[in-house]
Chains A and B, each alone.
Chain A
Amino acid sequence: MRDTFVDTATALLDDDPRTAVVLADISASAFQPAAHRHPDRVLNVGIREQLMVGVAGGLALTGLRPIVHSYATFVVDRAYEQIKLDIGHQGVGAILVSVGASYDGSTAGRTHMSPGDVALFDTVDGWTVHVPGHAGEVAPLLLAAAAHDEPVYIRLSTQHNAAPRPGTGLQTIKQGQRAAVIAVGPMLDPVLAATEGLDVTVAYTNTPRPFDVRGLRALGHHNVVMVEPYLAGTSSAVLAEALRDVPSRVLNLGVCRTDLHRYGSPKDHARWHGLDAEGLRRSISEFVN
């Protein structure tokens, strides 16, 4: 996904003089060819994430469309107040593109993990949040975002599904009776493996914000399982609001809040957080039975 992002952003820099990429050393070498061609629009500020987002706000104030990129924990967690004030409060937009989703950086430890990023975007107004499930979904999302001025967060991951599913609304993957299981981004393949033989609907989205409330209601299920590759329960308020006039049961699955103080692989962390196929099947079966 990161390669696709770099290629797409590089093409945007060539085609659209309004775009600019702002970096804080992360991925700077990948953007070197673009920086050579567009030295005024590929801006690496060094390891200064507050400045990276502040600069994006300033660029947007002059009418440019900044694309800001780093690890999620640095571009979101660390620069949260810049996101809130230098972008949101100024009434401008930017495209933030992260890598290092949740525990992608598991071997680097907790300091490089950011399961809370999407929850943080729920504290500020107006952000679209994309969580692509495959590299093939990245380019259309980024190109669409570059064509307007609203705030957009694109959360790239090394976890991905086998096939791309372009489009941003809720897509029904399979139909069942006992519950609707909503898989966000790279959670789709684990969810499909987990629900094999279970009589449940599975639906997919790569765009949890704004959440496709109409699509959810159209599924017609009152028992809903939300499976998110970030902090468990991030969408609980959104679902409660979406289903407020419907008697419903909701199970929120995702990354636990606990700092496990463990390394290992993303696969290990998926297991520890109950987000591998086996863990998901356990939780979903218990919920529907």
Chain B
Amino acid sequence: MTVTTATDRLDELLRRITGDEKHAPSAHSTLDVIWVLYDRVLRVGPDRVDDPDRDRFLLSKGHGPAAFYAVLAAKGFIPEEWLDDVAGPTSRLGHHPDRLLVPGVEIGSGSLGHGLGLGVGTALGLRAQGLTNPRVYVLVGDAELDEGSNHEAIAYAGATGLDTITAIVIDNQSTTHGWPGGIASRFHGWSSTTVDGRDHDAIERAVRSHEPGRPHVVVAVVQPKN
């Protein structure tokens, strides 16, 4: 798929979810990052959702999952028809994703601050079983970082050099009190890259720039919320 047709395709899928003709795909802060991950980075696929050796993508910020669902549909994890009745009484897709209902969804999320802990545990579990290929990617929001539970995971992963986990912070500047000094500086012991969260090549380079011995964080900056 070329960039143009991929974007058109995602646009169409997103409209199918929202029924919204006015909002451009850019209204979805996570769209470009999730697309780049699934299109270029993650070693996953609809045919290997239970493969122990797959990469893991954990959407910690379960809120506003339309972009995630659109990408899952575009990549064949779920039928497109599922997008037509999100949060309906018989729908498998809700306003927060449920791993027991959606193939390819690694965690049920929505309550903020759970993905990094689950991600650290997943990375440790893979390591304990000698599964050295898979990498764990956790997507969080800048406001989500307000939750203290994130900082337990960030501090532990940094101190122990858990180098199979990558956190991606979508920074749409929606946190109430800001992060003076920057978000990346909160990730002590992690390598970090801050990028334009709309630039696909930059996102890919940043996500691939992890190094041995340290966890990696990518801060993907997008337009401020509202």
Tell me whether A58 and B129 are in contact (CB under 8 A): no
Q: Quick check: A41 and B121 within 8 Å, CB to CB?
A: no
Chain A CB count within 10 A is highest, among B108, B121, B123, for: B121
- Interface presence of B122 (CB below 8 A): yes
Partner of B125, one of A48, A50, A58: A58
Name the interface residues of A24-53: CB closer than 8 Å to any CB of B.
40-41, 43, 45-46, 48, 50-51, 53
**Cα of A51 to Cα of B159 in the assembled complex, Å:** 14
> Do A61 and B106 touch across chains, with their CB atoms under 8 A apart?
yes
Contacts A/B (CB < 8 Å), 24 sampled: A20-B125, A40-B124, A48-B152, A50-B148, A51-B117, A51-B153, A53-B117, A54-B117, A54-B121, A55-B117, A55-B118, A57-B118, A58-B117, A58-B121, A58-B122, A61-B121, A61-B125, A62-B128, A63-B52, A63-B129, A81-B111, A82-B114, A86-B114, A90-B107
A63 to B129, CA, bound (A): 9
Bound-state CA distance A61–B107 (Å) is: 9
Interfacial chain B residues near A45, Cβ < 8 Å: 152, 156
Contact of A85 among B108, B125, B127 (CB under 8 A): B108
Given contacts A46-B156, A50-B152, A85-B111, contact A56 B128 (CB under 8 A): no
Q: How far is the CA of A60 from the CA of B107 in the complex (A)?
A: 12
Could you list which residues of chain B lie within 8 angstroms of chain A, going by C-beta atoms?
52, 98-100, 106-108, 111, 113-114, 116-129, 131, 148-149, 152-153, 155-156, 159
Asked if A89 CB lies within 8 Å of chain B CBs, one says yes
Digitize A88-121: 1 where CB-to-B-CB distance is under 8 Å, 0 elsewhere.
0111000000000000000000000000000000
Query: Known interface pairs A81-B111, A90-B107. Does A51 touch B128 (Cβ–Cβ under 8 Å)?
Result: no
A17 to B127, CA, bound (A): 12
**How distant is the Cα of A54 from the Cα of B113 in the complex, in angstroms?**
10
Q: A41-B128, A48-B156, A51-B153 are in contact. Are A58 and B123 (CB under 8 A)?
A: yes
Query: For residue A46, which residues in chain B have a CB less than 8 angstroms away from its CB?
Result: 155-156, 159
Distance (whole angstroms) from the CB of B56 to the closest CB of chain A: 8
Residue from A56, A58, A81 having most chain B Cβ neighbours under 10 A: A58
Contacts of A17 in B (CB 8 A): 129
> Among A20, A62, A86, A89, which residue has the most Cβ atoms of chain B within 10 A?
A62
